Amino acid sequence: MEGMITHDDFRAFTQGRCGVIELNRSKALNSLTVDMIRGIDQALDLFEQDSSVDVIVIASSTERAFCAGGDVRWVRERDLDGDFEAGNTFFEEEYRLNSRMASFPKPLVALLNGVVMGGGFGISAHGSHRLVTSTTLGAMPEAAIGFVPDVGMSHVLTHLPVGKEIGEFIGLTGWRLSPADMLWTGLGTHLVENPASIVEELREDDIEQVLQRRTLPVEEAGESQLASHADFIREALSHDSWVDVEAALRDGVSNTELSEEFRSALKDQLDSANPTSQVAGFEMFERAAAVDVDTALRNELTVGTALRHQPNFAEGVRAVLVDKDRTATFDPAESSAVDAAAWRELLD
């Protein structure tokens, strides 16, 4: 093992033919700071230029989480202090990293142990391989904090092999993705048992050889709730406005033909979301389905910046990540009171 970059919250090193980026901010579930974003970018510079490195692995030092997202608590604090520029810099640098990863010339392999949320998808979903384990729990939960799905996920989710309606459902409701959901949607590419051993094997063998040996049958992940309810989701998301989509989804909450587990989870997600985030997000997703990832990232930055200037962002982060009482009061409280056209006009 050769040390290359060391920091309190991450390290990067080479191991045989493999370049490794290891996140190490375990107390915060590896939520990304500006320094971590810059460090990952610096590591990619080194690995891209090093002809002895064939593959890059992004991993976590803790099994609890791969990465729980960007450090929006920090952004909220800066915003409340009136320093919006600090938050602007954070998101601009994060999105540049996401864009770079989407076109990186070498395989990017993410070992998705534990929690993968928000910015955690930004440093994994654009790569070539996303290895899921039995502990993986994914989500884009931004609507609950008064924000929108970002890090290029509006593009990723509207280009899933299972259809954009499934992706929009994931992004706009904050659906909690099981390992089976991850694999069925394509957000996860392989199911593995011991991702740590994969890094060792990549010292000598290429990624496809290793995965041929280590990949488990997808059936071992169990049943996907999304797959089981795909027809309902696609029908609900076929409407032309979030108001109509939400009405169809809430009708499903009382539809006993759907599983109780699904209906209960759906109700919880809908009830906890900021209506403005969902309306703005719906318009953003509709546009993302027809544009490239860089345009989608620009739109996410535009919409996200506008939302940060509304009290709902500070209130949502407070309720979910600061006080953790889950009692956010959003204004307006109903999606029908949100001006969808105003959000549509912001988009490229």
Which of 142, 165, 181, 315 is the catalytic position? 142
> Which candidate in 19, 69, 70, 146 is catalytic?
70
Tokens standing for residue 229: 């309810």
Q: Comparing C-alpha atoms, which of 45, 55, 58 is closest to residue 11?
A: 58
Provide the whole-model pTM.
Answer: 0.97
3 included as an active-site residue: no
Give the pLDDT band (50/70/90) at residue 345: very high
**Mean pLDDT for the chain overall:** 97
Catalytic pick from 119, 127, 188, 304?
Answer: 119
Residue 3 predicted with pLDDT over 90: no
**pLDDT in the model for residue 171:** 99
DSSP assignments along 47-107, one per residue: HHH-TT--EEEEEESSSSEEE--B-HHHHHHHHHTT-HHHHHHHHHHHHHHHHHHHT-SS-
pLDDT interval class at 4 (50, 70, 90)? confident
Alpha-carbon torsion 141, 145, 150, 155, what sign? positive
3-class SS at 145? helix
- Where residue 42 sits, what CATH number does that domain have? 3.90.226.10
Looking at residue 309, its pLDDT comes to 98
Q: What is the pLDDT of residue 326?
A: 96
Q: What does the pLDDT read at residue 195?
A: 86
What confidence tens digit (pLDDT) does each residue in 256-293 have? Answer: 999 999 999 999 999 999 999 999 999 999 999 999 99
Residue type at 346 in one-letter notation: L
Is 142 noted as a catalytic residue in this protein?
yes
Amino acid identity for residue 20 in this structure: V
The total number of structural domains in the chain stands at 1
Going by their DSSP bridges, the two strands 115-117 and 65-67 should be labelled as parallel
Share of the chain above pLDDT 90, in %: 95
Range of the domain at 158: 2-344
pLDDT at 1 over 80: no
The token duo for 317 is: 């982060």
Catalytic residue among 71, 79, 150, 181: 150
Q: Find the mean pLDDT for residues 214-237.
A: 98
